[in-house]
Structure 1
């Protein structure tokens, strides 16, 4: 029975995962994720091929994805942490709230199929392949829907920028970082 074969592979898989992850807790998480992925995709395993090789490949791919995601998050956190001092600047908070509200309005305007893809990839950090598996869409369809969502976002941001320029000047009354009234 396939279940028994998977259970029999756990000690080997754990050693492999510990080696990849570098720690027992991270290795255990990797083993669990590997088993979950394998069970969810059993129909993709070809009978007569090596189950251990297939599961090792799943573990390796998950590990590489986690490394890539970790590097991406570290870059984002470095940018966030690069501000020399966190402050309670009321004007900055208002600008941030305005930006968040604008992003929410934009996302709400997207067609459902584009919204799902955009949220899974850009907010949840899922890969195109994962989104393809989650939604049941081909990767090419995921890519095109994300492209259309990003294009719509550019158009929306340009539209919002045009509305912000109420005085008709290209910079909305801002020159050299100062408002026209000297602020």
Structure 2
């Protein structure tokens, strides 16, 4: 979601710190993974609200200079295009696509984490995937399908 390894590490650390401090609020028997993702999502949203331009600062450290090289150029270009397309998705689609596609969460878990109905999760996932297809194909705008 954050698009940067260092910021992702910071988000995970902040999530663990918040969860540890609020452990008394976790309901025994409930899904701790969903609870942790909810905390992470809320921290991410709070950070976006506080810092509307997250790409203002770039860190330079040794890890940033050790960029892994893909075996083939095509795979690297496809991954770059996919990351670019994901970054251009609207936030509500990006969250659902990443939670389902990358985190392998079930629709029920995503609905619980984001606080939305399951039908909304499925709708956003479908629309997000369609927008990704369009972006990856290089079309500027999706075409409307005629339904009979």
TM-score range, shorter chain: 0.3 to 0.5
What is the TM-score when the length of structure 2 is the normalising length?
Answer: 0.47
Q: Give the structure, 1 or 2, with the largest relative contact order (CA under 8 Å, sep 6 or more).
A: 2
The structure carrying a bigger helix percent of its residues is 1
